[in-house]
Amino acid sequence: MTNDNFELEEMRQQMAILKQKLHQQEILNDRMTSKAKEALEKKVGQLTRGFRSNWVIALLTISCASSLASFLALSASAIIAFLLAIIF
């Protein structure tokens, strides 16, 4: 009988240790990871759109600068430098 009690007590101690370890760990479920993934994808999309729009603005600026330069008979690099100074 003492051997049974000893095994039962040992199992109780192991269960207490497991409960303590489980309590200390963070548990992530599928819903939380899904929400985090969606938020990350949304942010990456925003950054990508911002990057693309910056390129479009830059190309339009260069296009307008070269057109303005030919109209005013100035060098395109001078106009581009002027426009970039105004923008930034």
Task: Give CA–CA dist 18/39, Å, rounded.
Answer: 33
pTM of this prediction exceeds 0.95 = no
Q: What is the mean pLDDT of the chain?
A: 79
pLDDT tens-digit profile of 12-47? 899 999 888 887 777 667 778 888 889 999 998 888
What per-residue confidence (pLDDT) applies to 77?
Answer: 72
Output the 3-class SS for the chain: CHHHHHHHHHHHHHHHHHHHHHHHCCCCCHHHHHHHHHHHHHHHHHHHHHHHHHHHHHHHHHHHHHHHHHHHCCCHHHHHHHHHHHHC
